[in-house]
Amino acid sequence: MSNSPEIRPLHFLLGPLILCVGLVVTGCGKKSDATPQAQGPLPVKVEEARTVQVSDTTDYVATLKSRNSAVIMPQVEGQIVQIAVHSGDQVGPGNLLMQIDPLKQQATVKSQEDTRAAAEANLKYAQQQYERSSGLYSAGVVSKQDLDQTKSALDYAKAQVQALDAGVREQQVQLHYYSVTAPWSGIVGDIPVHVGDRVTTTTVLTTVDKPGSLEVYVYVPVERAPQLKMNMPVDVLDAAGNVIADSRVSFISPQVDSSTQTILAKARIANNKDKLRQAQFIRARVVWGTQKSPVVPVLAVSRVGGQYFAFVAEKDEKGFVARQKPLKVGQMVDNNYVVLDGVKPGDKVIVSGTQFLVDGTPVTPQGS
């Protein structure tokens, strides 16, 4: 049988293909002479944890109040018929602020005065009767009993006039309350009522604030009550944390607020340039004392899941290794965290390359 022309090319290519496969297998089986080089310690910058004098402080939300601020409320009920001032007006002591309708009270006073006038006329008649009876008794015309009766009538008339005098004075005082006046010189605050409104003795009409010192009301948790002392420093801070006024504790309440379980502490401050306002909420910093504590740079501290950490270069038998330390930090002082626990003074705190470190990484400390 003759060879098929279609088979010859297949035999012709089979030999080179087998040769190539063998070369590939032989090449894959060869072991590389290159070996990875061992990585040396990582150079890092360190700073020694130093000790500084740190104030032990706590910030609280406090309220400003003035002892020279009067809340004006009426002492009688009635309808407002006149408002004589506007919010922000400067008033003096005794200046009229508002007028409550006095017509009914004026009628009461007039009635009392008329009754007193009648009683005074009766007293005058009783006096005349007594004087006449005294003359007749001296002449032996009337008996002692008649004289005693006129004397009794005179005493009753006097007592009646005195009682009506007291009643008239009381009603006149009540009439005075229908004119609401300023208790001292100051600035009129907000006026929430209007002409025509009916007010009671619990209605706030306005306020009159006298410029002057304010008091900081700080509510301290009862757990820290034993640490509260008179003359303890208190700083008032603005929104940026800057101290705008300083003072000292001038009052510590002997009682605990049952609803909040806090102790009220007060401190007087001067209202320089009217920066602060009555009833204003502010930040008050209570300075409990000072102590020496280690500090570490902010850049050396990381936070994971609410826990603060820092790496410290510690020496072992082979050199230095990075050890991750959990920290308990306090306030910040000049771009440093005050460390309450976790780092001791003199520890070499790593301040660079911390993102490449894990606990136990060999390092070479370098000065910062």
What's 274's domain CATH number? 2.40.30.170
The pLDDT value recorded for residue 172 is 94
My answer on whether 182 and 85 are in the same domain is: yes
My answer on whether 300 and 255 are in the same domain is: no
Residue 113 scores a pLDDT above 60: yes
- Indicate the average pLDDT of the chain: 85
Average of pLDDT values for 198-206? 96
Residue from 319, 327, 326 nearest 361 by CA: 319
My answer on whether 81 and 136 are in the same domain is: yes
Residue where a domain terminates, one of 290, 319, 353:
290
Q: Give the range of the structural domain holding residue 163, as residue numbers without chain letter.
A: 72-199
My answer on whether 112 and 133 are in the same domain is: yes
Would you say residue 7 lies in a domain? no
The pLDDT value recorded for residue 161 is 95
Average of pLDDT values for 266-284? 82
Q: Is the pTM of this model over 0.85?
A: no
Q: Are 68 and 210 in contact (CB under 8 A)?
A: yes
Neighbours of 266 (CB within 10 A): 17
**Distance between CA 262 and CA 284 in Å, rounded?**
15
My answer on whether 283 and 316 are in the same domain is: no
Instruction: Give the DSSP letter string of 166-220.
Output: HHHHHHHHHHHHTEEE-SSSEEE------TT-EE-TT---EEEEPSS-EEEEEEE
My answer on whether 193 and 88 are in the same domain is: yes
Percent residues over pLDDT 70 in the chain: 88
My answer on whether 169 and 269 are in the same domain is: no
Residue where a domain terminates, one of 232, 263, 290:
290
Average of pLDDT values for 128-139? 92
Would you say residue 26 lies in a domain? no
Would you say residue 2 lies in a domain? no
Q: What is the pLDDT of residues 231-264, one digit of tens each?
A: 999 999 988 888 888 899 999 999 999 999 999 9
Average of pLDDT values for 309-327? 89
Average of pLDDT values for 289-314? 88
My answer on whether 134 and 251 are in the same domain is: no
My answer on whether 281 and 335 are in the same domain is: no
CATH of residue 340's domain is 2.40.420.20
Would you say residue 118 lies in a domain? yes
Residue 28 scores a pLDDT above 50: no
The pLDDT value recorded for residue 20 is 41
Residue 137 scores a pLDDT above 50: yes
Would you say residue 192 lies in a domain? yes
The pLDDT value recorded for residue 171 is 94
Pairing of strands 78-83, 90-91: unpaired
Would you say residue 10 lies in a domain? no
Residue 222 scores a pLDDT above 80: yes
Would you say residue 240 lies in a domain? yes
My answer on whether 85 and 108 are in the same domain is: yes
**Distance between CA 301 and CA 156 in Å, rounded?**
94
Average of pLDDT values for 58-82? 92
Would you say residue 36 lies in a domain? no
Residue from 275, 289, 278, 279 nearest 237 by CA: 275
**Token pair of 39, please?**
């990585």
My answer on whether 335 and 277 are in the same domain is: no
Residue 114 scores a pLDDT above 90: yes
The pLDDT value recorded for residue 286 is 94
Residue where a domain terminates, one of 290, 308, 325:
290
The pLDDT value recorded for residue 67 is 79
State how many domains the chain has. Answer: 3
- pLDDT: which is higher, 318 or 90: 90
My answer on whether 76 and 194 are in the same domain is: yes
